[in-house]
Amino acid sequence: MTVKEFVERFNALSGEDQSAVIRQIMPVFCGNMMREPGKVREMFALFTEECGAPMANMVSMMGMMKGRKGGGCCG
């Protein structure tokens, strides 16, 4: 399956099924990302670029809640 096919099929799913897919792929995705800090920063940059200010604010708040000085996971 190509990326384009996956995206088309994923977008055709109900919101509930999309959430189920994400729950199943996130452990592998996160495990791969955590091995390389640069990829983690890239992932959060994509979230903030694609989702805008609300996501940037949430990432920053999560960082502060984890005892960091903001800036999400990397700040």
Region 10-26 average pLDDT: 93
41 and 57 share one domain: yes
- Structure confidence by residue, pLDDT tens digits, 26-71: 888 778 777 887 887 787 777 777 777 776 676 666 666 666 554 4
Q: What is the pLDDT of residue 15?
A: 94
Q: Is residue 20 part of a domain?
A: yes
Q: What is the pLDDT of residue 66?
A: 62
Same domain, 29 and 8: yes
Residue 73 has pLDDT above 60, yes or no: no
- If one counts the domains in the chain, the total is 2
Q: Is the dihedral of CA 40, 43, 47, 48 positive or negative?
A: positive
* Helix orientation angle between 37-51 and 53-65, rounded to the nearest 10 degrees: 140
The answer to the question of residue 46 being in a domain is yes
Confidence of residue 4 (pLDDT cuts 50, 70, 90): very high
Measured between alpha carbons, how far is 73 from 9 in angstroms, rounded to an integer?
Answer: 31
Domain shared by 41 and 31, yes or no: no
In a domain, 74, yes or no: no
